[in-house]
Structure 1
Amino acid sequence: MLSVENLESGYGSSRVLFGISLSIQSGEVVTMLGRNGMGKTTTVHTLLGIVQPTAGHISFHGQPIAGLQPYRICRLGIGLVPEGRQITPNLTVEENLVATARGPGPWVLSEVYRLFPRLKERRRFMGAQLSGGEQQMLAISRALLTNPRLLILDEATEGLAPLIREEIWRCIWELKKRGQSILIIDKNIDALTQIADRHYIIEKGRVIWQGSSAQLQAHPELSQRHLGV
């Protein structure tokens, strides 16, 4: 589904990525792991055209997308749940959802309300009136309503209370059961190894390890050395 080869990018004269390569198959859940500042979000922004690559290749379902404008990449079927949620505070929950909804596809308003009943209860609340956890539910639902073939979650549960984190992981489990392809950035290694198929560890703009959940669990020194846990 997604193939990234020798990707390089950065900001101005400052290079951040040094030959990143990764892939995601249809129906896979894949993670990017690493400490803050190692290039994970820059990788996501380069995949989405927010940051332009300086070298390398990106293809999505066999189509080259490196250098395309972000709206074109989104229309091809990549949805983002951004770090910090970035919902529109002066729109209601329902207005936030329908503003960017796009079909055809399985995700319609009633389906995201079924996934997150709390959003239905608060559908007339303004975005600014929601808790952090509710805003994250809204950000995930907003991305799903674009009916993405690949969903990217940048810092999926950062800063959320434990009960809300469980709700987010439940949602991701359900998406996996539906066959949704997902790329996740998060720091909760225990939860990620339970749900993800494969992992990439990023350090200083390079992939320094990749493998399955079983392989990651078998080498706890990787987490201690590279993930700060």
Structure 2
Amino acid sequence: MTALLEIAGLQAGYGTSQVLFGMQLTMRPGEVATLLGRNGMGKSTLLRCLCGWLQPTGGRIRFAGQDITGWPADRIARLGLALVPEGRQVFPNLSVREHLDAFVANRSGAREPWTTARVFELFPRLAERAGHSGQQLSGGEQQMLAIGRALVTNPRLLVLDEATEGLAPLVREEIWRCLDLLRGAGQTILVVDKYVQRLIRLADHHTLVERGRVAWAGPSAALAAEPALWQKHLGV
């Protein structure tokens, strides 16, 4: 199967500080993959390159059959990449419904596209809060809204940066439930998070990042069999 995403030899940094040193990542359509590592290891820098917010200094990024290295963020988004950003970044003065309606598109050509109504079915709590502004929502509700906002673009690739950071356990489980459903529907997903045991159940493939390099990569079964890796690279 042709890869949906291929990151090869990626190098990047800020000014004279190099952060990424030849990063590699490949994803096939319908796959769920993770980026794991301690803070400051380069995960966010890789995502910034992928989304077009930071220009790589070396290597290549191919997405949906095109070399997108150096493309601007809006062009990459229109090709079908959607990010659920760290910190949610919802608009404080837009209502839940306005958030969703403003981003509706079908960038993947889905036969049964995500709509505002479908997001409300996925997250009934958002339906209950449809008229509330972003600033009136709890952290968990804002994360649901950020996921729904990405979904209504019908992306080829859904990227979640710190997917459940700062959320209460019950809300966190609701986010995992959502991602399980999306995986079952064939959505390609790249997740950055720290809950390794839950990610092993969700994802197909994992990449451990250490100081801007791939320290280990492999399937869930292999990661589950080597808990020493978690302590070494994640401190868990």
TM-score when scaled to structure 1?
Answer: 0.99
1:172 matches 2:179: yes
CA distance in 2, matches of 1:92, 1:108: 16
User: Deviation of residue 61 (structure 1)?
Assistant: 2.1
CA distance in 2, matches of 1:199, 1:130: 32
User: Which string of whole-angstrom CA distances, capped at 9 and with x for unpartnered residues, describes residues 22-45 of structure 1?
Assistant: 101000000000000100011011
The CA RMSD over aligned residues, in Å, is: 0.8
4+ long deviations beyond 3 Å: none
The amino acid that maps onto 2:211 is: K
Identity among equivalent pairs (%): 58
In structure 1, the partner of 2:98 is: 95
User: Deviation of residue 62 (structure 1)?
Assistant: 1.9
The amino acid that maps onto 1:210 is: A
The amino acid that maps onto 2:8 is: E
Look up the SS of the partner of 2:159 in the other structure: strand
CA distance in 1, matches of 2:231, 2:131: 45
User: Deviation of residue 100 (structure 1)?
Assistant: 1.9
In structure 1, the partner of 2:229 is: 222
- In the alignment, structure 2 segments of 5+ residues that lack a partner are none
1:112 matches 2:119: yes
**Matching residue within 133, 147, 158 for 2:140:** 133
- The answer to whether the 8 Å contact 2:33/2:191 transfers is yes
Q: How does 1:136-151 map to 2 (within 5 A)?
A: 136-151=143-158
In structure 2, the partner of 1:26 is: 29
TM-score when scaled to structure 2?
Answer: 0.96
- The answer to whether the 8 Å contact 2:12/2:21 transfers is yes
CA distance in 1, matches of 2:96, 2:235: 36
Look up the SS of the partner of 2:57 in the other structure: strand
Could you tell which deviates more after superposition, 74-83 or 101-110? 101-110
In structure 2, the partner of 1:10 is: 13
CA distance in 2, matches of 1:15, 1:129: 40
